[in-house]
Amino acid sequence: MSKKLKLTFCTGVDTVTGANYLLEDIETGFKILVDCGLIQGEKTAEQDNNAQFSYDPKDIDVLFITHAHLDHIGRIPRLIDAGFKGVIYSTPPTKDLAKFMVEDEAHILAHGRNGSVNKELVSIYSEENINKMMTLWKTYPYHHPFTIENFQINFKNSGHILGSALVEIIFNGKKIVFTGDLGNSPSPILQDCEFITDADYLIMEAVYGDRNHENREDRKIMLEDVIEETVKKRATLMMPTFSLERTQELLFEIDDLIIKGSIPLVPFFLDSPLGIKLTDVYRKYEDYLNIEAREMAKSGKNIFIFPGLKQTPEADQSKMILRMPNPKIIIAGSGMSSGGRIIHHEHNYLPDPNNIILLTGYQSVGTLGRYIEEGLDHVYINGEEVQVRAKVRMISGYSGHKDSDALIAFVGETAGTVKQIFTVMSEPSSASFLIQKIRDNFGVSARQPIKGESVILEC
């Protein structure tokens, strides 16, 4: 007997951030949320993040989290503050990572992004609400199906970051899959993204729907080249890096380059308190790493530490970096230069044409990183104009997302069963390109929903 689900795209469409999707059993009223993330980088981000949810949080029964990036978890304290008392489900690493990620965001809000403190936000992102979040959170490893009401749930590896999951939801014999973010496999340290072969409905990310990355072998060569250039010029290399996953990947890759003698010993600074904490979580969950990284770790090798690396968790240690002679390399958050310690280094080092800034990930529209990527000759940092004379280098091969061809390959595995594909978490042009390729290659119905739109899934 056919049944119906109602799927609402609350946020996370027409933009690469703010994942939040509502799935309702029309017959029973049981309500499932998938992700509850912050909108980042957009001009209206602050207004959108502070707005009330389009649903009543008190009515939500469960929340599934695909992974621990803030654009997928950052509004959970607000959800709790508004009355959510349901259960949160994810993989074990995601729960551990999420605690540090949300605590870090709370710290940023408490100290104010522009020198002012929003007391309402401090109250929402309070220690009490974060503790409530953790007490509501339950975990299941990959491939351990469980049942909630009339839904069967299974987490599969999406290969994006440690613990990231594809969420499979089976209802009345039909499979609905939320991809979260799909990893750019193979990763230096993670297991590969798994394929789905029997989805009926697919809600999939399309961040890089209209472009491809460099060859994977090239990315390490490019990293080696930019480090060697920095040393040769006796310059400063800035690497704005996401604290979660990109930091750990780069540490692993640099360690390998040093072991092989491919780059000279030079001072490296991991200037990211959050990155340091998250790296400890990676060590805790070695079984979630790929075979190479796992075997190295089990041999007693610290795969995220190498000669010349200094961690600077304290603010005074960070300030001392300015006094250190060149050449030197600074790895610091945030990855889009939208906050964190990297902006202080960019303020100091961007005006010098001898220096280099290396972008290794997607830069959202409206972020400082995007302005630098686009080649602006000056930017504003904390309200002060800063000349951009440093050389800008980019390596998209370290992106944590599948590129266009890989997304098409992912769809191809389930093209024989899928009735409808919805593209989310992408800019409109990227989604449009991918949608057309899906239609051309497989003849499958695909489209990009609009914010707030609801659709009925026939099950």
pLDDT for position 408:
98
- In the structure, what pLDDT confidence band is assigned to residue 419 with cuts at 50, 70 and 90? very high
pLDDT over 60 at 443, yes or no: yes
Question: Is the link from the previous residue into 186 a cis peptide, with omega within 30 of 0?
Answer: yes
CB neighbourhood size of 426 (10 A): 27
Averaged pLDDT of the chain? 94
172 in Cβ contact with 76 (< 8 Å): no
Task: State how far the Cα of 173 lies from the Cα of 457, in Å rounded to an integer.
Answer: 13
pLDDT over 70 at 417, yes or no: yes
pLDDT over 90 at 65, yes or no: yes
444 in Cβ contact with 411 (< 8 Å): yes
- In the structure, what pLDDT confidence band is assigned to residue 108 with cuts at 50, 70 and 90? confident
- Of 154-163, 217-226, 359-368, least confident by mean pLDDT is 359-368
pLDDT for position 113:
56
Q: Describe the crossing of helices 127-135 and 92-111 by its angle, rounded to 10 degrees.
A: 170
pLDDT over 90 at 237, yes or no: yes
Beta-strand runs (E) in 335-447 = 356-359, 378-381, 384-387, 391-394, 420-424, 446-447
CA distances to 12, 77, 177 from 140, in Å: 25, 22, 17
- In the structure, what pLDDT confidence band is assigned to residue 401 with cuts at 50, 70 and 90? very high
Percent of the chain with pLDDT over 70: 98
pLDDT for position 46:
81
Say if residue 314 is exposed, middle or buried (CB neighbours under 10 Å; 0-12, 13-18, 19+).
exposed
Task: State how far the Cα of 18 lies from the Cα of 108, in Å rounded to an integer.
Answer: 18
Percent of the chain with pLDDT over 90: 83
pLDDT over 70 at 60, yes or no: yes
Residue found by looking up tokens 């309500």 in the block: 31
Q: How far is CA 153 from the centre of its chain?
A: 23
Beta-strand runs (E) in 106-261 = 137-139, 146-148, 151-157, 165-171, 174-178, 201-205, 236-240
pLDDT for position 373:
94
pLDDT for position 384:
93
Nearest-CA neighbor of 342 among 318, 314, 309, 306?
318
Task: State how far the Cα of 51 lies from the Cα of 48, in Å rounded to an integer.
Answer: 5
Exposure letters 333-357 (e unless 16+ CB within 10 A, then b):
bbbbbbbbbbbbbbebbbeeeebbb
More confidently predicted of 398 and 37: 37
- In the structure, what pLDDT confidence band is assigned to residue 422 with cuts at 50, 70 and 90? very high
Mean pLDDT of 124-147: 97
Three-point CA angle 64, 85, 92, nearest 5°: 40
CB neighbourhood size of 377 (10 A): 7
Instruction: Give 289's contacts (C-beta < 8 A, 6+ positions apart).
Output: 162, 189, 190, 191, 282, 297
pLDDT for position 403:
94
- 14-41 pLDDT tens trace: 899 999 999 999 999 999 999 999 988 7
pLDDT for position 67:
98
pLDDT for position 43:
72
CB neighbourhood size of 254 (10 A): 24
Following DSSP, what letter does each residue of 17-65 receive, concatenated? S--EEEEEETTT--EEEE------SSTTHHHHHHSPPSS-GGG--EEE-
Task: State how far the Cα of 449 lies from the Cα of 446, in Å rounded to an integer.
Answer: 10
- In the structure, what pLDDT confidence band is assigned to residue 57 with cuts at 50, 70 and 90? very high
pLDDT over 70 at 112, yes or no: no
- In the structure, what pLDDT confidence band is assigned to residue 115 with cuts at 50, 70 and 90? low
Task: State how far the Cα of 30 lies from the Cα of 54, in Å rounded to an integer.
Answer: 16
Mean pLDDT of 185-214: 95
